[in-house]
Amino acid sequence: MSKSSAQYSHYPQHHPHDHGRAFQRRPAAPAAAAAIPLPAADDAYTIVHAGKQVRFGPVVFWIVVGTVVLLGLWSAATATYFAFRDDVLTRLIARQAEMQYAYEDRIAELRAKVDRTTSRQLLDQEQFDQKLDQIMKRQTALESRATALGAMPDVTGSIPRSAPQRGDSSQTTPKPSPISDTVIFVAPPDREARLESRAPTVVAPPVSQFARNNGFDNVLARLTNSLDQVERRQMAALSAVEESMDSRMRRMRGVVSDLGLNLAHLEAAVPRAAMGGPFVPVKLTANAGPFEKQLYRINTTRAEMDRLNRTLALVPYRKPVIGEVEFTSGFGVRSDPFLGRPAMHTGLDFRAASGDPVRVTANGKVVSAGWSGGYGRMVEVDHGNGLSTRYGHLSEINVRVGEIVKIGQVIGLVGSTGRSTGPHLHYETRIEGEAVDPQKFLRAGVRLSAG
């Protein structure tokens, strides 16, 4: 405190001219209190300020004064120490610089981490798009396979349609197909926006987190599983077709072998249709997969089977009448119905009603159509390669000599003309003019059609 604001004094002293700010001695107590002892002059100090008095003892006063003095001395000593000790300031400055460098290093590390995270996010985005493109390319390939399978009559309807899976419409969309289920992927509506958001100033969200939050990983997994199922069904259908065609090829060759016919001679007798064009060999590409290779084998087998079908169309292994086959007389030695003596029966007698249609059993050319002794009205058809068939006892003939007939064509009606005891069809098969048992051909036809 300054002298202008307060003055210190003991109680005995009195300064009347202090303008109201002085240590004053207390006035004398009234007479009634004269017996109370006054405090000693050195026991207390009073501070008067603006009419207010603060009284405290000398011990407290000197403690306060000593504390203020010590603080002043400590501040002066510290300032003097730092002023004359440059190494302390240097250490402080170095410490400050070190803290600043550490802060800058931390910022650089965080910035590098952000850059790595951004790069990883972009890489994840690229990987996601690549997987999506692979799935869409695979879907396109499966659709082309489905088209190839649809062009095969052997496969139509062989693949059961599965019920559409429940889920988001953006995952799979079944496309109508006559033979298989195809998976159509519709890209998410925000995919283009996410691709366009790859500006350098914008950090794209992590694909992995985006995928986890929106389920795109699960979408890709479900799409892949659906495509796998479609591919397995296509391969299974293709395998079934190949196995069926191989089995039929074996049966067709077996029929020719069982009948004792020469396949090469039969093929040479097949009339050639009007066709042509340049020869373009069929070959597989270097990157052909199992499906393409199997499809190639099937197409090759089908071409061979078509050739065999055209060849077997000249072999009379079918029935000449419709309905259940019932023979009234078989091939071989029998008792003659008119003379009662043993005689050779060169054909089969089919039970039938008068007027029932008689159908040719193989493709061929009519070489005889008219009355022929004991045959009555008879039609003979030449099938080529020494094979021929005869149809006797007809009541009516519907073809002319030289006419080309096809399998199943009606050539006449059942009757009882010639040497006959009642309405029936006399049917013969001949090889090089010699009659052979027609049942041999009919049994071969049953085995061929059983598959």
Q: For residue 435, what are the contacts with CB-CB under 8 A and spacing of at least 6?
A: 331, 346, 347, 428, 429
Q: For residue 284, what are the contacts with CB-CB under 8 A and spacing of at least 6?
A: 292, 293, 296
Which amino acid would we find at residue 397?
Answer: I
The pLDDT assigned to 348 comes to 93
Q: How many whole angstroms separate alpha carbon 284 and alpha carbon 77?
A: 99
Which amino acid would we find at residue 26?
Answer: R
Task: Give the mean pLDDT per block of 10 residues along the chain (451 residues).
Answer: 41 44 46 46 70 79 88 86 70 85 89 86 78 80 77 51 38 38 39 41 43 62 82 84 86 84 77 74 76 83 86 90 85 86 91 94 94 94 92 96 94 94 94 92 85 58
Q: For residue 313, what are the contacts with CB-CB under 8 A and spacing of at least 6?
A: 270, 362, 363, 407
Q: For residue 321, what are the contacts with CB-CB under 8 A and spacing of at least 6?
A: 350, 352, 356, 357, 358, 359, 414, 425
The pLDDT assigned to 374 comes to 92
DSSP state of 391: E
Q: For residue 393, what are the contacts with CB-CB under 8 A and spacing of at least 6?
A: 375, 376, 377, 378, 414, 415, 416, 417, 418, 420, 423, 424, 425, 426
C-beta separation of 175 from 168 below 8 A: no
Nearest Cα to 349, choosing from 249, 438, 276? 438
C-beta separation of 427 from 391 below 8 A: yes
Domain 327-450 has CATH 3.30.70.2500: no
Q: How many whole angstroms separate alpha carbon 258 and alpha carbon 204?
A: 75
Query: What residue segments make up the domains of the chain, in order of their start?
Result: 138-239, 327-450
DSSP state of 373: G
Which amino acid would we find at residue 54?
Answer: V
* β-bridge pairing 182-184 and 173-175: antiparallel
Q: What per-residue string of b and e applies to 342-361 under the rule 16 or more CB within 10 Å gives b?
A: eeebbbbbbbbeeebbbbbb
The token pair at 406 is: 């096809």
The pLDDT assigned to 427 comes to 96
Tell me, letter by letter, the H, E, C secondary structure of 172-202: CEEECCCCCCEEECCCCCCHHHHHHCCCCCC
Host H or E run for residue 343: strand 342-345
Q: How many whole angstroms separate alpha carbon 120 and alpha carbon 9?
A: 84
C-beta separation of 268 from 256 below 8 A: no
The token pair at 348 is: 């089969």
Q: Record the pTM.
A: 0.54
Q: How many whole angstroms separate alpha carbon 392 and alpha carbon 408?
A: 17
Tell me, letter by letter, the H, E, C secondary structure of 26-43: CCCCCHHHCCCCCCCCCC
**Helices H / strands E in the chain, number of each:** 8, 16
Tokens 């994840």 correspond to: 124
C-beta separation of 21 from 5 below 8 A: yes
Q: How many whole angstroms separate alpha carbon 187 and alpha carbon 342?
A: 86
Q: How many whole angstroms separate alpha carbon 311 and alpha carbon 263?
A: 8
Q: How many whole angstroms separate alpha carbon 261 and alpha carbon 308?
A: 13
The pLDDT assigned to 215 comes to 60
Q: 3-state class of 170 per DSSP?
A: coil
